[in-house]
Amino acid sequence: MKTWTALFFFAFLFISPSFAQEREKIDTSAIAKIRDEGWNRSQIKDILWYISEVYGPRLAGSPQYNEAAKWAAEKMKSIGLENAHLEAWGPFGKSWELKKYSATVLGRQIQPLNSYPKAWSPGLKGKVEAEVVYLDADSAEQLQQYKGKLKGKFVLLSKPGEVEAYWKPLASREPDSSLLKLANADFPSGRGWNFQLPPAWKKMMMLNYEKWQFIMNENPAAVLTSSFSTRNLGGSIGVQQAYVPNHPDTSFMSPYRVQVQKANAPKIPPQIEVGGEAYNRLVRLAQRGEKVKLAVELEVAMGTKDENSYNIIGEIPGTDLKNEVVMIGGHFDSWHGGTGATDNGTGSAVCLEAMRILKAAGLQPRRTIRIGLWGAEEQGLLGSEAYVKEHFGTKDSLKPDAEKFAAYFNNDNGSGKVRGVYMQGNEAVRPIFRAWLAPFKDMGASTLTLQNTGGTDHLSFDAIGLPGFQFIQDEIEYESRTHHTTMDLFDRVQIDDIKQAAIIMAAFAYNAAMRDEKLPHKPEKK
């Protein structure tokens, strides 16, 4: 009786529609070669070292970015990629380079100030010694008490913040509960943006705008700010671009922050970000009437006109389907406080290493596999967006090459290993990706989620309906310590994790290049 039940069950499986369809083909021999090359002869540590330590921070449009981009193009050529080149796009904005910086607290004690200048901040003329003033105002009326008192001073703009002990570990991997929640997620919400600002937000933004307008009219020596997330505490400084808000409007359609890298941006005062603990001390001293001064040197080199930036492109030509393209990539630019190791030296190294693995393993893809390392992701995915528009068109006006596009895979969430894939609401790729991940279950990668993830360059492809995906990665210290901070350094990278990520990136690119059909597109939103 049990024997007949089993035979009936297996017969049902093979005649069932879901099993009658052809299963996803996997070249297990090729995957074995990829794993062997990626684990036993990896060059990813050396690649990342050059990106993050030899070339260091790669602020978009800066001389450092351009030099590092040239190195990356030469690296592509050295591993055997064809058509390796820098591809100009833009104009992006002015170049900016930090030449010299120091800040010292002059009071009852002399101490270095834990701080860092913001990108596109103007410099100072020589060393400036001036008093510290805390701008303590909660309304436009209260600002008037500072009229005529800020000229030539170092202005503390941010409110002081609470500094708590690190009760939670700074580093973590994705727990099974989080991965299960992702796997069980429904289709992403289609509600879209709500452009009507809540009244409290608008009031806060309006006060911030008024403060900046007041400050710029007062002509201070510099403006000092601080945030109080974990990334700006414990010796780390979260630093990005200089900041001036636009006038808030009810639609919120215009950019809230002025694009300070543009040649037509308004004249702004020098701006410095200060570590939370050091900032709080300055505020307390000023509030208690201590006469505290700062001695600051800030020398920068800044361009005077908008210039182009560059993406770095290279490829492995395909065979019978060479006119169709699979792409992998991540952004190459970084902020300037650290060395851009985990954001996104790791993603760039993962993609370069994936291409090296494919070449070294002697694998010949049917479709062309192309790598794109993008510029100015940190300013709004600008490099990848420009590339997609130039080569594939827009959502309303696709170019012929969009029909030949198979897939894009992105790496840009720090140094954590890959745990799965965000499917961007594309349910049709689930059985395909499940088969592709199966050989890597022992490496901890098996989760598939319908959920979207934002803030990375796959969105430039997804925005016009092309299949674009970002991998799920372990958090490690990305949000708690390294993301956009002075701690974004080589020593914070988990090398074995990015080895694993490069192997999976190579396998996904190869599998996508070998399929008879391109990856299915997700249905358009109605």
Going by pLDDT thresholds of 50, 70 and 90, the confidence category of residue 254 is: low
Short-list 398, 403, 478, 525, CA closest to 172: 478
pLDDT at 188 over 90: no
Cβ-contact 436, 499 below 8 angstroms: no
pLDDT tens readout for residues 193-250: 445 667 888 888 899 999 999 999 999 999 999 998 888 999 999 999 998 898 887 4
pLDDT of residue 196: 63
Going by pLDDT thresholds of 50, 70 and 90, the confidence category of residue 190 is: very low
Task: Note the pTM of the prediction, 2 decimals.
Answer: 0.92
Burial class (CB in 10 A: 0-12, 13-18, 19+), 355: buried
Going by pLDDT thresholds of 50, 70 and 90, the confidence category of residue 21 is: very low
Short-list 474, 473, 419, 429, CA closest to 450: 429
Dihedral in degrees, nearest 10, Cα atoms 408, 413, 419, 422: -50
pLDDT tens readout for residues 137-181: 999 999 999 999 999 999 999 999 999 888 888 899 988 889 888
pLDDT of residue 388: 98
Would you put residue 446 in left (φ > 0), alpha (ψ -120 to 50) or beta?
A: alpha
Q: Which helix (H) or strand (E) holds 180?
A: helix 176-183
Going by pLDDT thresholds of 50, 70 and 90, the confidence category of residue 492 is: very high
pLDDT tens readout for residues 103-144: 999 999 899 999 999 999 999 999 999 999 999 999 999 999
- The encoded tokens of residue 239 equal 């630093």
Burial state string for 234-264 with b = 16 or more CB within 10 A and e = fewer than 16: eebbbbbbbbbbeebeeebeeeeebbbbeee
Name, in order, each residue with C-beta under 8 angstroms of 69's C-beta and a sequence gap of 6 or more.
58, 86, 310, 312, 332, 373, 375
Q: Pick the residue with more confidence: 175 or 82?
A: 82
Cβ-contact 358, 79 below 8 angstroms: no
Domains of the chain: 36-94+306-514 (3.40.630.10), 97-173+194-301 (3.50.30.30)
Starting from the edge strand earliest in sequence, which strands make up the sheet with 82-93, in order? 82-93, 307-316, 367-374, 321-331, 405-410, 468-473, 418-422, 447-449
Nearest-angstrom CA–CA distance, 359 and 78: 11
> Helices marked H in 219-345 — which ranges?
276-287
